[in-house]
Amino acid sequence: MIGELFALLGACSFSTHNIAVRRGMRTALDSGVFMSTSISTVIFLVVIGVLYFGRLLPPLTAMGFFLFVVAGLFTSFTGRSLNYAAIRALGPSRSTSFRASSPLITICLAFTFLSERFTLLQFVGAALVLGGVSILSREVIGRTDLEVQSKFVPVSNDPVNRPKRALTGILCALGSALSFGTGHFLRKLALQEVPSPYWGLAVGTTAAWLALVAHTALRGRLKEAFKNNFNFHHLPWFYVIAGVLATSGQLFLYLAIYFTEVSTAMVLASSEPLATLCISRLLLGREEPMNRRVVFCSATVFLGIIFMII
């Protein structure tokens, strides 16, 4: 039962995190990935340092270290970067509904490599997930009011580019789902090798931060990134909050995967879109346009994931 509770807490943390990211994009110069990943890295390194010197950690094997690194690159680096790009283009509710299809990837990998079996009901669940994503895609392509209104990144009103920007947002969200789904599966394999979510969080997040720093440096924007995110006179507080929430969400999800089956944890974590719908409507108001189709698609994706695990 404790694993299921951690999965639900993770869903709530990530839902609120999505809203904080979207809100921060109004006044920040970047997408928030740098700040969010930096905060997660610092917190997890402090935690792992305390546990290590307290001799409360199992040995870290070479294979476990490798799996944790790759899982971190798939989730905290690639998955988070694509997710933030989707939030900017589509808003938190729609982008999260697309990303909620990530358990489909995780469960398929678990069925393939962990000797689990597909049933007829699970095929129905997969069809519901894909159907919900397809319907939502058509709804998003027709919208022109989803991009964040930022004073630093003006939104173009060119009607020719609107469908292209919407399609880019959809592809980012689906790419994020693929990255997170694969990363969660690799986390489960890593935890079987080294049974410590704390090692996984520290190693994976640090690897993601180093990859982000290297990528930013190659683009020649490393100095700019530090200046924009760590200027204490204009600190992007919503990104700070988002970083803390993402950190707690990762911790809860890792603990959920550790204490229960990965497919069960993913099903409960997939309640994130419904929670995001409610919270975004409360905190973002008209900035997050809602309609029955969005609610229906989110509920359909959630129901499909439940069917896949029954």
Q: Which tokens belong to 276? A: 């995001």
Nearest Cα to Cα of residue 193 among 70, 30, 51: 70
CA distance 205 to 158: 39
Where residue 167 falls among pLDDT bands split at 50, 70, 90? confident
pLDDT at 163: 62
CA distance 28 to 33: 11
CA distance 226 to 131: 42
Tell me the mean pLDDT in the region 205-212: 95
CA distance 132 to 307: 14
Residue 149, burial from CB neighbour count under 10 angstroms (0-12, 13-18, 19+):
exposed
Q: What is the pTM of this model?
A: 0.80
Amino acid at residue number 166: A
Query: Contact, 288 vs 45, CB < 8 A?
Result: no
Residue 10 CA, distance from chain mean position:
11
pLDDT at 141: 66
pLDDT at 273: 76
Dihedral sign, CA of 176, 250, 201, 63?
negative
Where residue 162 falls among pLDDT bands split at 50, 70, 90? low
pLDDT at 124: 80
Statement: residue 256 has pLDDT above 80: yes
Give the single-character DSSP code of 144. S
